[in-house]
Structure formats: structure tokens, C-alpha cells
């Protein structure tokens, strides 16, 4: 693709983050002990959280264990969601009966936000890792499901005609035409789902859990450690960003035939 928007992120991608950083710095420059810490204070706290420096306070070096706890819940929840959402989405997209059976139920449940589910999950599954993980699963479920359905439903009729004309039997149509042509939609769903998982995990870890980046942020809030709060936010942002880059790289490889997914024209 020739459009500059699809090129590799270069210097232009750094402009807005640097601008925000400059604004932050300028706004806090004359208040070293204000409510909002200065960027350099957060940077040094991040080093301390990561265990690179040793302040010896309660948050020294706790980043990695918390990141690992969050990431394992993100990936477990995402996996549960994909294992349920993909087959269900394929069936809803392909089989009219399943669609009529489930559509209204799914549309009714869809507007209920994960935050509203959280208290119920805590009652059902108890305080702890499991509730957070299942909350993540619920959070990624709809993007995965809906994009899979959309992918299956948007198969070009022309391709089904072409396949029929070339001798593909009706039962073979699904694996030979429908599934490959739904792949970009499925992939978009997985990517959105994983991104959303990082949003939901923090909500899930904000009550009833002692580990994870969300729990770390809540602990820091109790102790008015705004530098740790912001450091935790940055860590979550980076973790989600790195995940997305990895998923996109996989997509570029698997979907190199698709001009929308980084295929070269």
C-alpha cells in the first residue's frame, strides 16, 4: 500500500507522545511536591519498580511479579474467550438456526459492561485470580464473537459461485471458501479482544486480589503514591502495546494475501 498511514511507525509516531510528555513536564515543573508527580519522578519510580534501582520501599522491584500475574490472567482469559467465541461465531455466522436461537440473547447481554458483572463474578467465583481471569474472558468475548460472525457473513457471494463452478461440494464450501475468507475478520476480533483484555484485567484486579498491575495501582493509591499509580499505568500501556505489535506481526505473516493487513501491493 502506498498510503503513508500504513507505513512503519517512524519519527512522526513519536510526536504526540513527546508532546504529551512535554505538556506534563511544563504543567508540573514548578510543583515538585504537588499532587501530580513530575515525569522524571515517575521515570525514576519505574526504574525502582523494575528493581533496577533500590530505594528499599514497599514497591521496590514488584513490577515483574505483578506484570506476570496480570499477563497470565490476560492470556488465560483471552484463550478461554477465543476457545468459546471462535466456534460460536463460526456457527452463528454460518448456520441460520443457531443465529436465530442465540442472536437476541447475545444482543441483550452485550450492553452490560464488565464492571457491572464484576460483583456477580466475585460472588460466583470468589475473590481471587479466577474471577479476574473470567472477567477478562467476558471482556474479550464480544469483540471476538462479533468480528468472527461478521467475517463469516461477509464472504463474497461471487467466491462461493466461483468455488461451486470449480467443483467444490456444498459441505466443502465452509473449509475451502468461508473460513479463509473470514480470516481477516477473525483476526481483527482477536486483536481487538486482546487489546480489550488489558483494559479489563485492571478492572478485575482492583478488588479482592493482591497481585497484578491493577492491585499494585490500588495499593499505591491507598498510600498516596501517585508516582507508582502513573508508573503502573505506563506499564499497562506498554504491555498492551507490545502484545498488539506481536499480534500484528503474526497477522502480517498469516494474512499477507490481504492488502488491509500489510500485504505489499
Partner 1 sequence: MTSRPILEVAALHKRFATAGGEVEALRNVGLTMRRGEFVCLIGASGCGKSTLLRIIGGFETASEGRITMDGAPVVGPGPERGMVFQDYGLFPWLSVRENIAFGPAARGIGRVKRGEIAERFIAMIGLTRFADAYPHQLSGGMKQRVAIARVLANDAALILMDEPFGALDAMTREHLQSELLSLWASSGLSVIFVTHAIEEAILLADRIVVMSPGPGRITAEIAVDLARPRDITSAPFNALRREVSALLGAHGGNG
258 binds partner 1 (CB under 8 A): yes
Grid coordinates belonging to 115 = 464492571
For residue 255, the minimal CB distance to partner 1 (Å) is: 8
For residue 216, the minimal CB distance to partner 1 (Å) is: 43
- C-alpha distances (whole Å) from 84 to each of 38, 137, 199, 226 are 44, 9, 20, 39
Strands (E), the chain: none
180 binds partner 1 (CB under 8 A): yes
Greatest Cα-to-Cα distance within the chain, rounded to the nearest angstrom: 75
165 binds partner 1 (CB under 8 A): yes
Our CB check for partner 1 shows the closer of 177 and 220 to be 177
For residue 1, the minimal CB distance to partner 1 (Å) is: 10
Please name the residues in contact with 247: beta carbons below 8 A apart, sequence gap of 6 or more: 190, 191, 194
From CA 135, how far away is CA 78, in angstroms rounded? 10
> Using an 8 Å Cβ cutoff, are 99 and 92 in contact?
yes
Rounded to the nearest 10°, the torsion over CA 24, 27, 32, 33 is -100
265 binds partner 1 (CB under 8 A): yes
Among 168, 233, 239, 247, binds partner 1 (CB under 8 A): 168
264 binds partner 1 (CB under 8 A): yes
Burial class of residue 124 in the structure, from the number of CB atoms within 10 Å of its CB (0-12 exposed, 13-18 middle, 19+ buried): exposed
Among 99, 176, 210, 221, binds partner 1 (CB under 8 A): 176
Site string for partner 1, 117-156 (x = CB under 8 A): ----------------------------------------
Our CB check for partner 1 shows the closer of 102 and 179 to be 179
Among 49, 137, 146, 177, binds partner 1 (CB under 8 A): 177
27 binds partner 1 (CB under 8 A): no
CB atoms within 10 A of CB 160: 17
Our CB check for partner 1 shows the closer of 110 and 256 to be 256
257 binds partner 1 (CB under 8 A): yes
2 binds partner 1 (CB under 8 A): no
- C-alpha distances (whole Å) from 23 to each of 19, 28, 44, 230, 245 are 6, 9, 19, 15, 27
List residues near partner 1 by CB under 8 A: 158-159, 161-169, 172, 176-177, 180-181, 183, 256-259, 263-265
Amino acid at each position: 500500500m502506498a498510503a503513508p498511514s500504513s507505513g512503519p511507525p517512524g519519527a512522526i509516531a513519536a510526536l504526540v507522545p513527546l508532546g504529551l510528555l512535554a505538556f506534563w513536564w511544563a504543567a508540573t515543573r514548578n510543583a515538585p511536591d504537588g499532587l501530580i508527580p513530575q515525569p522524571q519522578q515517575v521515570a525514576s519510580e519505574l526504574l525502582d519498580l523494575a528493581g533496577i534501582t533500590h530505594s528499599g520501599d514497599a514497591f521496590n522491584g514488584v513490577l515483574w511479579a505483578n506484570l506476570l500475574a496480570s499477563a497470565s490472567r490476560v492470556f488465560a482469559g483471552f484463550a478461554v474467550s477465543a476457545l468459546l467465541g471462535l466456534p460460536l461465531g463460526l456457527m452463528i455466522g454460518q448456520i441460520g438456526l443457531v443465529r436465530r436461537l442465540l442472536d437476541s440473547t447475545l444482543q441483550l447481554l452485550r450492553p452490560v459492561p464488565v464492571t457491572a458483572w464484576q460483583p456477580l463474578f466475585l460472588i460466583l467465583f470468589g475473590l481471587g485470580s479466577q474471577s479476574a481471569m473470567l472477567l477478562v474472558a467476558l471482556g474479550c468475548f464480544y469483540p471476538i464473537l462479533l468480528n468472527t460472525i461478521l467475517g463469516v457473513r461477509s464472504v463474497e457471494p461471487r467466491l462461493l459461485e466461483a468455488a461451486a463452478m470449480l467443483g467444490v461440494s456444498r459441505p466443502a464450501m465452509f473449509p475451502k471458501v468461508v473460513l479463509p475468507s473470514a480470516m481477516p475478520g477473525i483476526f481483527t476480533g482477536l486483536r481487538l479482544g486482546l487489546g480489550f483484555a488489558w483494559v479489563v484485567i485492571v478492572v478485575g484486579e482492583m478488588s479482592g486480589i493482591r497481585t497484578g498491575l491493577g492491585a499494585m495501582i490500588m495499593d499505591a493509591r491507598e498510600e498516596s503514591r501517585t508516582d507508582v499509580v502513573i508508573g503502573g499505568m505506563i506499564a499497562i500501556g506498554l504491555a498492551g502495546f507490545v502484545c498488539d505489535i506481536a499480534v500484528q506481526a503474526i497477522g502480517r505473516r498469516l494474512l499477507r494475501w490481504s492488502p488491509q493487513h500489510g500485504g505489499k501491493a
